[in-house]
Structure 1
Amino acid sequence: MKKFITFFLTLMMMISLAACDGESPSESSTPTGGSTTSDNSKKEEAKVYGIGEAAEANGLSVTIDKVAVAEANTTLEKAKDGFEYIKVWFTIKNISNETIESPKAKALYIVYTEGATGDDSDMKSEENSQVMLEVADRNERYMSRVDLAPGESTSGWMIYQYQADKSEITMHYYSGFVNVPPDLVFKFTVE
């Protein structure tokens, strides 16, 4: 419910700013011909995080700890032509003062083509359902959501298909819907 209220208030602010053409009262009262520059032309770039860097969003710290090509017999299905499976290890920590539910596994996406929002991107969420029973560290997969008390963390790994001919991988984290810009952006190379 809090997320919905926050989303609604943010939406209302954006509509109000759009109605004012993005100018605050102090900007709109500046005489024309003044030397004031507008920041509207500058698109604010999201900070991009690498492996081992803690990124914060909505009371959680998300860290991608390690990324490696998955072992040959990790999955039930063979990767698509031109793709390989990777394992992404990560840690999620509650940095708020309240108990928070850890994100669902579908909150982290591998991005094949990046767009302004998730809807504009070509991306895919985890593929843990295809992991074989015989995989040695199967129990370390990130599967279920848990309640994290302040300071508590959870960790695990998920599996994704990545384009084998790409040297850099992009991942997005969304705390809610994907029809908005990502909450966090990660970029890294596979070991």
Structure 2
Amino acid sequence: MPQFPEAQFLLSAWQPGQFPPDDGREVAFVGRSNAGKSSALNAITGRKDLARTSKTPGRTQLINFFALNNGHRLADLPGYGYAKVPAEMQRHWRELLSRYVEKRTSLVGLVVVMDSRRGMTDFDRQMLIWSGERELPTRLLLTKSDKLSRSEAARTLKEVQAEAEGVATAQLFSAVTKIGVDQARGWVLGTLNA
């Protein structure tokens, strides 16, 4: 049973002028290209095909907006930091992300998706700086945690929580085994309805 049965694709934006009207409430998903961002979004919404998943990192090249009810939206931001994307494209994504995160007034929460096996990257830290400057509620999803042993997962979570303290909360997550899906879903719904 989908947890967000009303969720539907709204539009894709390549430039800020293409964003939907800046009203209502929005939670955005962002993360490194190969961190499993689209899979996380699908698992949280209980939909198999809301966000397009791919075996090729870097497929989300636009900001994709999904309409919910009550004027709420989810946004799937371009994956960042993937080496095989041309430098010009990476610059465009960085500019688009910074404009979105720094200026979007309907943005009320940020879900930063990171591969639990990789730890925090400079791009993740940049997202935390932006969200901290805006005092934006932020949740770090440590994806693919099913691929770690119990002790590795606990250690990684502790390290990330220590680094993000005061700026973001963190949790273990797996779209495959559903670790942390209900917890993440609760955070998204709570943030949208706060």
TM-score when normalising by structure 2 = 0.25
TM-score when normalising by structure 1 = 0.25
Work out which of the two has the higher radius of gyration on C-alpha atoms and give 1 or 2: 1
Higher share in strand: 1
